[in-house]
Structure 1
Amino acid sequence: MRCQTALRTVALVGALGLALAACGSSEDTAPVLDDSPPEATAYAGPVGQGEGALSVLAWPGYAEDGSTDPAVDWVTPFEQATGCQVSVKTFATSAEAVQLFSTGEYDVVSASGDASLRLVYGDRVQPVNTDLVPNYADILPDLKNKPWNTVAGKSYGIPHGRGANLLLYNLATHPTPPTSWADMWEPGSPAAGKLSAYGDAIYIADAAVYLMAKQPELGIKNPYALDQTQFDAAMALLRQQKPMLGEYWGDYVKQGQGLASGTLSEGMGWQLTANLANTDATTVGTTKPVEGATGWSDTWMIKKNTEHINCAYQWLNHIVSPEANAQVAEYFGEAPANTKSCALTKNPDHCTQYHAQETGFWDNVYYWTTPIEQCIDGRRDVECIGYDDWVRAWTELQNS
């Protein structure tokens, strides 16, 4: 959902803008999550000659073949090198990704952390043998073996990139940059009526991040591992916030326009949103507040019973290669996962802007992770609130 320049996003916005309006709906056809991952084994290899075809399900901008922009193409070189002819289907939300991948029509998918565990526990994907992906060796250690891409000690995909959900603000109304999320949450906010919040159930985690700092007595250690008391506190904070909002956003381009014009004052969003809004003039600032932030790290995953296993592994290795990962990160607007990619971006400041290898920047960024009943913060004496209950509570909030 995130590309780098206004010109490059024009072709995507027409199709994506309408689809993103449905971000508040998180219905999908995946089975309800439980605490026991399916029995599964990774492909032993070796990776051989490709089967001639590969069906890719991806965020817009992740698998470009030159049809959006002739200068943007890392699919054709892959096809020429492997003989695997690629067909690409894009999606607008994680809910849509889970729904589409559950049909069994696609070989690989780029899944954000709020979709990946649904695919694992839904028995839709297979563990990945990282030894068969040579470029995995150069992936940032910070993105390996994480709760959203590794289950029961098994890697279920290859990390692709990452980004933080930042506090965006109108520069004209904020001569001094804000340092806290307080205006987004506290009664009496000077920005009341002009606040922009993300329109999806995963936004409950943003409330939890704020509570981690402001109400430490709740004991929240991970915003995606909330027991009933913690979850109730997060929902209470969201109900407190709702009357102060100008919008729940789904279209990042529209959100950026509102922030640039002053119709909106502050909002949770992406660096990409500010970049697009600042194409002609610098009107929108960004910051990661002192309380920390949610974020996202996407993972390339393989269908459980794909008939194109060799093409799938060749794709995973290609898309996280230094060259391709640099191209995707710069076009899409994110920090690349491959440690060698930063030296290859056309904009020499790209990785600095996206904090690609600043370990400290990410210390208090909590990547989207599907909530499950088994608390992923290590607790075993309580039950956490699972994803389905997050969706139900979010739907009730929207309808209240």
Structure 2
Amino acid sequence: MFSRSLFTKSFRATAAVCSLLLVSGCGLFADSSDSSSSNGFNPPDLKAQSKLGTPEGQVNLINWAGYVEDGSTDPKVDWVTPFEKQTGCRVNSKVAASSDEMVKLMKSGAYDAASASGDASLRLIASGEAAPVNTDLVPNYKDVFFGLKKQDWNSYNGTMYGIPHGRGANLLMYNTQEVSPAPTSWSAVFDDASKHKGHVTAYDSPIYIADAALYLSETKPGLHIRNPYALDQQQFDAAVDLLKKQRPNVGEYWGDYLKEVSAFKSGDSVVGTTWQVIANLAASEGAKVKAVLPQEGATGWSDTWMISAKAKHPNCAYKWMNWVISPKVNAQIAEYFGEAPANIKSCDETSDPTFCDTFHAMDESYWKDIAFWTTPIEQCLDGRTNVKCVPYSDWVQAWSEIRG
């Protein structure tokens, strides 16, 4: 079950200071020419809002912890109060513990928008819970990195179904004193996992099956895996089998990343999947760790603010979506949560001048090696029409069997 735990400790990036890339006219603002490749995926024919009306006075949000901060968690962290004062829209927010919970809450009709991850977004689109978004009503959208626009997890048929919030990669972290030589491949947690039996850690979610599929796409080319979220039954069974073989070597499956920091500090975990923010925090607290992007690439996550098709306060919701990707606010959120911002101009607003370098915010070549979480559906996302792919519900069942 996908869990996003709040990062409650501040930290400064430990990477060496690098000059920020100056970008002008380099295509980073351009829209991708590709739209959703979900052939045969037919969501309800809903229309995007054509113009903004009078703000309704409030907005009800479902969000990951750390995305909607009003100073109650940390008095120094508050981008909600300025929004309320500027727009007259009072913010009511509920933290979701998982993507499944977020989908369920959106279906209740009680919420106007949600910060959906890629393992939930297609479910919301397919069920008609999420409405298309008129990006012309979100002025800051023009400054969103093109690599986040019109992607499989946030669009359909060239139409955006949300506003990108940020992105991150699932990296390989290892204890530099216990793991030698330094790993450069995901084989460290799969084929070679027995070398660190009981001290391997893995992300606790059905979507982690995609990590195994991505590894197999490079090591078992005969499986012909082109997209780790588009797996036919044979490909899916191979990924599940790999994870079942990995299971005896896993000491802990993590969802709360503060617990992963503790595990690497104590030595309970010495190698496994992680996020850049975890690696930074663990290193700042004395853990001898490094995080790398393996040679096979990696999976990753990109969150999208999606507006409910049943929204009772759509005008305030649109104002919120524009607010959270405004340069200064998006920078605040990115630094607080630990992710690359969605707005390219945010890199000029971070308090840490090295932040965007550390999180590869402006390096589009880096993100080309990241397979962002996308909800698996029967209509194969890689374009195949001669087979059915395994839907997410089966991923959930298989994950339960893997975890035991």
Superposed pair shares fold, TM > 0.5: yes
The answer to whether the 8 A contact 1:3-1:333 is kept is no
Q: How far does the alpha carbon of each residue in 1:284-308 deviate from its partner, in whole angstroms, 9 at most, with x for none?
A: 2111110111100000000102121
User: 2:356, 2:397 → 1: CA distance?
Assistant: 38
Cα shift at 1:7: 4.5
Partner of 1:372: 377
Amino acid at match of 1:39: D
Q: TM-score, normalised by structure 2?
A: 0.89
Output aligned runs, 1:312-391, within 5 Å: 312-391=317-396
The alignment partner of 2:66 has SS state of coil
1:44 to 23, 30, 50: 50
Change (3 A) 1:300 1:239: same
Q: Equivalent of 1:397, from 393, 397, 402?
A: 402
Q: CA RMSD in A?
A: 1.5
Structure 1 residue 49, shift from structure 2 partner: 2.5
Q: Secondary structure at the match of 1:273?
A: helix
CA contact (8 A) 1:224 1:370 kept: yes
Partner Cα distance (2:10, 2:324) in 1: 23
Q: What is the alpha-carbon distance in structure 1 between the residues aligned to residue 358 and residue 219 of structure 2? A: 29
CA displacement at 1:280 relative to structure 2: 2.9
Q: How does 1:279-318 map to 2 (within 5 A)?
A: 279-318=284-323
Where 1:185 maps in the other structure, the secondary structure is: coil
User: Matched residues in 2 for 1:155 and 1:2: separation?
Assistant: 27
3-state DSSP class of the match of 2:299? Answer: strand
Matched ranges for 1:23-34 at <5 A = none
Distance in 1, Cα, partners of 2:142 & 2:8: 30
- Read off the aligned partner of 2:292 and give its amino acid letter: T
Counterpart mapping for 1:251-290 below 5 A: 251-290=256-295
Q: For 1:211-247, what per-residue CA distance to the aligned partner results, in whole angstroms no more than 9, with x for missing partners? A: 0110111111110000111111111111111111111
Conservation of the 8 A alpha-carbon contact between 2:5 and 2:255: no
**Cα distance change, pair 232–42 in 1 and its aligned pair in 2 (3 A):** same
Match of 2:208 in 1: 203
Percent of aligned pairs sharing the same letter: 53
1:87 Cα deviation from its structure 2 partner? 0.8
Aligned pair partner of 1:6 in 5, 9, 21:
9
Which residue, out of 113, 121, 124, partners 2:126?
121
User: Deviation of residue 3 (structure 1)?
Assistant: 5.6
- Offset at residue 351 of structure 1 (A): 0.5
The CA distance in 2 between the partners of 1:282 and 1:175, in whole Å, is 16
Matched with 1:186 is 191
Unaligned runs of 5+ in 2: 12-39
- Distance in 2, matches of 1:280 and 1:197, equals 21
Query: Which position in structure 2 is the counterpart of 1:92?
Result: 97
The correspondence for 1:235, drawn from 236, 240, 258, is: 240
Q: Does 1:71 align with 2:43?
A: no
CA-CA distance at 1:111 after TM superposition: 0.3
Q: Aligned residue for 1:54?
A: 59
**Residues in 2 aligned to 1:348 and 1:197: alpha-carbon distance in whole angstroms:** 31
Any idea what SS the aligned residue of 1:125 has?
A: coil
Contact 1:6 1:279 (C-alpha < 8 Å) held by counterparts = no
Runs of 4+ in 1 over 3 A off after TM superposition: 2-5
